[in-house]
Structure 1
Amino acid sequence: MDANKHAQTMLAVLIDADNTQASITDGLLSEVAKYGVASVKRIYGDWTTPSLTGWKSVLLEHSIQPIQQFRYTVGKNATDSAMIIDAMDLLYTRRFDGFCLVSSDSDFTRLASRIREEGLLVYGFGERKTPKAFVSACDKFIYVEVLRFEEDTEQAAKPKTANELKGDTKLVALLRSAAEAASDESGWAHLRAVGSSIAKQAPEFDPRNYGYSKLRELAMATKLFDIEERPHGDGHSRSIYIRDKRKKPQK
């Protein structure tokens, strides 16, 4: 058991209650579980205010520790300072492999950068209105809109058509440049390497933003790439490779 514990990625999840809705909690924690174990779950806010009432039952259900922070001045967000101080205290314990910062507030941009300077991973979670500076400061940024339950059809993103995807010049350029960076001499690129290249260029990239659950599905939907499955040496599993159709050898 000790070996498994050390092999796990330990994460500290810090939530800014003033800038996060309680309705995304289930999706948030499910997403965090993909990256590691949430060994610390804390949420910051002034719990004497009526605006945070919706969080109370959620905190009990998910064992999230509420941290009280009174508002000293109207219009000023004291929650940010408390969360930043706590994050630095946790950082210096050296017990964590990464942090999950849940907020749409640009005030956490420097915190994200500082944590990464220590060699730890930073996963950001926020609404689409989150300033680009904070998004770029994270290793990966997930828009909370894609974390709604699938049965909430009004919130779920509908898959975009090939024409819509091709019309997104930023997306097309991102996919093609990532495929080019990961490709071999024949133009084929392992899909996992393509995904890694994309993450370095655009922390906010997520196939779910376009209505697709996987990068492979998104790549296929664009109709810009050839897709090929290749067996591993063990013969039991297969790898996915893609190639820009513009690089297809001419007969």
Structure 2
Amino acid sequence: MASPRVVTKTESEELSLRLAVLIDADNAQAAVIEGLLAEIARFGEATVKRIYGDFTAPASASWKKVLQRHAIKPVQQFAYTTGKNATDSTLIIDAMDLLYTRKFDGFCLITSDSDFTGLAMRLREEGLTVFGFGEKKTPEAFRNACHKFIFTEILRPGGDTESDITTHKASDDSKNATVQSANNQAKPKQVFPKKFVLAALEQSSDDTGWAQIGTFGSYLTKLQPDFDSRLYGYKKLSDLVKARIDLFVTEERQAPGATQKILYLRAK
């Protein structure tokens, strides 16, 4: 089986993975569903979309409102025993059944639960690409078990990564402060891992010290699956390296036999 790799439709419309999307309703929020499916579409086609949970419980009410609209198949799982998560077991069993059909190139696991670490590792052993989606509280073990992990906070409407702002009655000055706080949250407040990024650039550079943006991005993801330029306020990795003139020197070069240009970078 071919080695898995993270492919986006921007590379080639022909390179589109067939993906099985499995959602843990107990550990995912319905508010991110539109952004989530749009993000998955960047990597391939969501051939199967299933969500697992007890939809008779009040906590699942928000999910029931969006399932039909987005053609997501609900898999009802009653909690047989208090304190035991039957949903996890059902999702894992279904994932293995889908795995052995050999119809998929990868899986999207939407959960913040570390219990799926073993599943992600097993899928990788079969040569499939694993995309993980979860909140920042997701344990590192599960994040690193995926080829690529995306924090769902950046998929919320408006792209906020901080906690939602609590609105309340206040004076005009307080209201203005709240608006300013909302504007500040439009750009994620995350410490930029300068040392890690520069080390990754050094490893992905050629003998002249230059690296192609695609090679650099792939190496970053291999080393740290949850690395995402959007966490630092930039929509694309190319936007980040162009903006950080204190760290990088960039150069656009003509691709051989093509009209498009490719971005290269080196450490400043």
TM over 0.5: yes
Whether 1:205 and 2:227 are equivalent positions in the alignment is yes
| Corresponding letter in the other structure for 1:210 | Y
In structure 2, runs of 5+ residues without a counterpart are 1-12, 161-181
Equivalences for 1:15-26 in 2 at 5 Å? 15-26=23-34
| Corresponding letter in the other structure for 2:29 | Q
Q: Which residue of 2 aligns with 1:217?
A: 239
Distance of 1:7 and 1:209 partners within structure 2: 26
Match of 2:215 among 172, 193, 204: 193
Whether 1:48 and 2:48 are equivalent positions in the alignment is no
Distance of 1:29 and 1:205 partners within structure 2: 19
3-state SS, counterpart of residue 102 of structure 2: coil
Distance of 2:185 and 2:60 partners within structure 1: 25
| Corresponding letter in the other structure for 1:137 | A
* Contact 1:16–1:83 (8 Å) recurs in 2: yes
Q: Which has the higher helix share?
A: 1
Q: Which residue of 1 aligns with 2:251?
A: 228
Work out the percentage of aligned pairs sharing the same amino acid.
Answer: 55
Q: TM-score, normalized by length of structure 2?
A: 0.82
Offset of residue 193 of structure 1: 0.5
* Contact 1:146–1:208 (8 Å) recurs in 2: yes
Whether 1:27 and 2:35 are equivalent positions in the alignment is yes
In structure 1, runs of 5+ residues without a counterpart are 246-251
* Contact 2:120–2:146 (8 Å) recurs in 1: yes
3-state SS, counterpart of residue 60 of structure 1: coil
Greater shift, 5-14 or 131-140, is seen at 5-14
Greater shift, 27-36 or 74-83, is seen at 74-83
| Corresponding letter in the other structure for 2:225 | P
Whether 1:241 and 2:261 are equivalent positions in the alignment is no
Offset of residue 200 of structure 1: 0.7
Q: TM-score, normalized by length of structure 1?
A: 0.88
Greater shift, 207-216 or 219-228, is seen at 219-228
Equivalences for 1:66-215 in 2 at 5 Å? 66-150=74-158, 157-158=186-187, 168=192, 171-215=193-237
The verdict on how the C-alpha distance between 1:175 and 1:94 changes in structure 2, with shifts beyond 3 A counting, is same
Distance of 2:254 and 2:248 partners within structure 1: 19
Distance of 1:224 and 1:53 partners within structure 2: 47
* Contact 1:175–1:198 (8 Å) recurs in 2: yes
